[in-house]
Amino acid sequence: MKNLIVANWKMNPDSQKKAEEIFNGIKNGASGAGAEVVVCPPFVYLSALRGLVLGAQNVFYKEGGAFTSGISAVMLKNLDVKYVIIGHSESRRYLKETDEIINIKIKEAIGAGLKVIFCVGETKEQRLAGEKNIVLEKQIKLGLQNIEDYSKLNIAYEPIWAIGTGDNCSVRETQESIDFVRSLVPANVRILYGGSVKSENSGDYIKKAGANGLLVGGASLDAEEFIKIIKSAD
């Protein structure tokens, strides 16, 4: 199973020209990499970017019709998008996504033939209260309820306190959490780590903590840095 290195650009950059520049930089450096590389730009740039595997950062939970602002899984599939991030903590927080909505989205995405990067993770308070595993188990059980086909599923363990903070999770704690997540799903599901990944720590998450890949936010907007992260997974 190849490692999966995913760029999550979030709501960046602010123009298509800049998106193309970063994307082309990544494309030039990523050729020949041992890992599978996926770039998830904002929806508006998806059709302008070609030459690397694309992912979307979210999807609507209904199939199509009168849902103003919605983007369906089938629309993404028809745009040749291969992956979709579902359940990111920022979508849970700012879009008020519940485990139930996330479950429907995962079913829609798999039904449309998309591969899923399903995000789970605990807050700082939950971690300090010793509730991490309870939170992870609940998110995974509810998010994957009544899903039988795991062949398109990847899970990203992203401790919320580590996202965008520079306070990345230690290798030991990441390994424990990844092992716990792995114990809840079939062995063919790739388990990624995300949260303040940079080229200085990326190799350790793969080689020491046993992650099958990385979900990279801030550092994926710098093509050179992201290429180093991709190569560290070889």
Q: How far is the CB of 87 from ligand PGA (least distance, A)?
A: 11
Catalytic residue among 88, 90, 108, 122: 88
Q: How far is the CB of 20 from ligand PGA (least distance, A)?
A: 21
In a 13 Å sphere around the CA of 86, the CA atoms on its Cβ side amount to: 33
Which SS3 state, helix, strand or coil, does residue 15 take?
coil
Nearer to ligand PGA, 63 or 222 (CB): 222
- Footprint of ligand PGA on this chain (CB under 6 A)? 8, 158, 163-164, 194-197, 215-219
Nearer to ligand PGA, 111 or 203 (CB): 203
Q: How far is the CB of 67 from ligand PGA (least distance, A)?
A: 26
Q: Does the annotation mark 137 as catalytic?
A: no
Q: Pick the closest to residue 136 from 154, 159, 102 (CA basis).
A: 159
Q: Does the annotation mark 122 as catalytic?
A: no
Nearer to ligand PGA, 112 or 120 (CB): 120
In a 13 Å sphere around the CA of 42, the CA atoms on its Cβ side amount to: 12
Pair type for strands 83-86 and 53-56 = parallel
What is the C-alpha separation between 179 and 17, in angstroms, rounded?
Answer: 41
